[in-house]
């Protein structure tokens, strides 16, 4: 029997269900691997070993009584921005030191209802602001394919954990690419659902009109399975869509014959890594060989996406992060009076990138600048959505790179925020438009770094993009590769 930590989420659930392995044995396999390897990778901030084992024993008892659930007895990882009852939830920030979640986020509730076992908390960029996980105040997370390179962000801990077989799947969040970009850099699958598909209740907000919870997994079928578990209407989130549960996993396996896939010219730009472009264009040709029709299209709005995103997102962040003031929860730095206390707390608690975005967001919302920046950005955002709507009248889905480059070295972009922001140039449009996208492996550089293909679909188009992703994935072997981590040493 193969090593249990190499199994997919679906395979793990099946083997536990069939009694080939107990949930406790599977959980112990992951806990042992985390103990041996995660000191080198730094994906986990907290591991609830005792709690996981207790839940595994309970899952084994449930199975022995004949109970069934989609993920019964299977461990999963949780990004540090989601509340898990009794666990720390720091959002990678010093300002939430000491805070413990009093409840489960809806997505976590639904994982538990499906029988899954939350294993631990995964590292991230502070308040989900970043593309490399270098902005975490807690620790450094390394890319399992090259420990001198970043795992992407902000869900870098989730992507690194899945890529290194430290959990079979994990939850992340995506505000401008924070699931898809680290999935691309770490060689796993990352799905950003349509805005409103997954409840945001219990998610610590960065930008409320952009944030969406989604899965990071080892293959496309697992992404569909996890999406089916966590999606659906939630009365506690007014933005969640009133739709019946999905069964995306059962609809995979169809051919691409008859599908029209758009290839937007604006996503193949000057400055993109040539190895990335070569791999993505080869993936496009593979989709064509599988029966899809490739349709050249234009999305001229793309050139305005980064500027629009960093106005809308920072404006919402400046409002959302106002609640972190040292009064109600988290860190408090004493001051001479309440105003001084708030100022000192926020100065000490927030990192440089969070401060940068709060200042920018406050500026664009300020009197005299609101119309010039924020209102104009909202108009461009609607234009971006209209461009996608027009494209999807002639295409079922779009094919693009996920990231313009493979994983970069630590410190390579921290001194130039604009270069860091451009890491998300191919992903932010999906969030601005509220549509769906998935990233999956489509090749490797000569240095052995993963490259990601992005499939973008219309609102509620998850079935279409997963159909494309699954057909491509199953016709290649990229998703089967694993980083060569030396057991016990954590060296690549």
Which residues have a catalytic role annotated?
Answer: 79, 154, 178
Distance (Å, rounded) from C-alpha 330 to C-alpha 437? 34
The rounded Cα 428 to chain-centroid distance in angstroms is 13
Which of these, 123, 144, 35, lies nearest to 449 by C-alpha position?
144
Q: Helix, strand, coil % (nearest 5) of the chain?
A: 45, 15, 40
Distance (Å, rounded) from C-alpha 34 to C-alpha 52? 13
Which H or E element spans position 263? strand 260-264
Place of tokens 């209102």: 375
Distance (Å, rounded) from C-alpha 309 to C-alpha 306? 5
The tokens describing 241, both together, are 């869509």
Distance (Å, rounded) from C-alpha 241 to C-alpha 393? 23
Distance (Å, rounded) from C-alpha 449 to C-alpha 152? 12
Name the region of 311 (left: φ>0; alpha: ψ -120 to 50; beta: rest): alpha
Q: Do residues 59 and 119 touch, judged by C-beta distance below 8 A? A: no
Q: Do residues 104 and 202 touch, judged by C-beta distance below 8 A? A: yes
Contacts of 109 (CB under 8 A, 6+ apart): none
| Alpha-helix runs per DSSP H in 334-448 | 338-349, 352-365, 376-391, 417-421, 428-433
Q: Do residues 147 and 57 touch, judged by C-beta distance below 8 A? A: no
Q: Do residues 40 and 250 touch, judged by C-beta distance below 8 A? A: no
Distance (Å, rounded) from C-alpha 172 to C-alpha 290? 31
CA-based diameter of the chain, in Å? 70
Distance (Å, rounded) from C-alpha 100 to C-alpha 329? 9
Q: Do residues 261 and 294 touch, judged by C-beta distance below 8 A? A: yes
Distance (Å, rounded) from C-alpha 334 to C-alpha 350? 16
C-alpha dist (Å) from residue 228 to 222, 247, 414: 10, 6, 37
């Amino acid at each position: 029997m193969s090593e249990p930590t190499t199994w997919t989420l679906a395979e793990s659930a099946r083997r536990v269900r069939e009694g080939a392995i107990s949930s406790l044995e599977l959980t112990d396999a992951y806990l042992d691997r985390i103990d041996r390897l995660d000191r080198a990778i730094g994906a986990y901030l907290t591991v609830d070993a005792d709690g996981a084992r207790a839940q595994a024993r309970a899952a084994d008892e449930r199975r022995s009584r004949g109970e069934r659930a989609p993920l019964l007895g299977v461990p999963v990882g949780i990004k540090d921005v989601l509340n898990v009852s009794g666990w720390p939830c720091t959002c990678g920030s010093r300002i939430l030191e000491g805070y413990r979640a009093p409840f489960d986020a809806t997505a976590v509730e639904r994982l538990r209802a499906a029988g899954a076992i939350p294993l631990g908390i995964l590292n991230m960029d502070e308040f989900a602001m970043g593309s490399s996980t270098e902005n975490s105040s807690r620790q450094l997370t390394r890319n399992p394919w090259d420990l001198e390179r970043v795992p992407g962000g902000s869900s870098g801990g989730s992507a690194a954990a899945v890529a290194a077989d430290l959990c079979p799947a994990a939850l992340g969040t995506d505000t401008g690419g924070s699931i898809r970009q680290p999935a691309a850099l770490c060689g796993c699958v990352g799905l950003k659902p349509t805005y409103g598909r997954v409840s945001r209740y219990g998610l610590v907000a960065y930008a409320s009109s952009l944030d969406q919870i989604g899965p990071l997994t080892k293959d496309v079928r697992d992404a569909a399975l996890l999406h089916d578990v966590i999606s659906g209407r939630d009365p506690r989130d007014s933005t969640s869509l009133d739709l019946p549960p999905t069964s995306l996993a059962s609809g995979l396996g169809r051919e691409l014959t008859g599908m029209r896939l758009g290839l937007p010219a604006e996503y193949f730009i000057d400055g993109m890594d040539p190895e990335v472009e070569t791999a993505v264009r080869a993936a496009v040709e593979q989709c064509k060989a599988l029966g899809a029709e490739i349709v050249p299209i234009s999305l001229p709005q793309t050139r305005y996406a980064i500027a629009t995103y960093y106005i809308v997102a920072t404006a919402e962040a400046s409002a959302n992060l106002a609640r972190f003031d040292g009064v109600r929860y988290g860190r408090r730095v004493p001051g001479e009076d309440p105003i001084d206390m708030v100022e000192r707390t926020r100065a000490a608690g927030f990192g440089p990138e969070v401060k940068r975005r709060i200042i920018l967001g406050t500026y664009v919302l300020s009197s005299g600048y609101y119309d010039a920046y924020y209102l104009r950005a909202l108009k461009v955002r609607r234009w971006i959505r209209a461009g996608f709507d027009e494209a999807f009248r002639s295409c079922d889905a779009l094919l693009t790179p996920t990231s313009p480059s493979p994983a970069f070295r630590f410190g390579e972009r921290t001194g130039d925020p604009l270069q860091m922001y451009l890491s998300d140039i191919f992903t932010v449009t999906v969030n601005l438009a509220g549509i769906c996208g998935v990233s999956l492996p489509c090749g490797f550089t000569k240095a052995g770094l993963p490259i990601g293909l992005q499939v973008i679909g219309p609102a509620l188009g998850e079935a279409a993009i997963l159909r494309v992703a699954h057909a491509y994935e199953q016709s290649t072997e990229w998703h089967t590769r694993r980083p060569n981590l030396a057991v016990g040493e954590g060296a690549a």
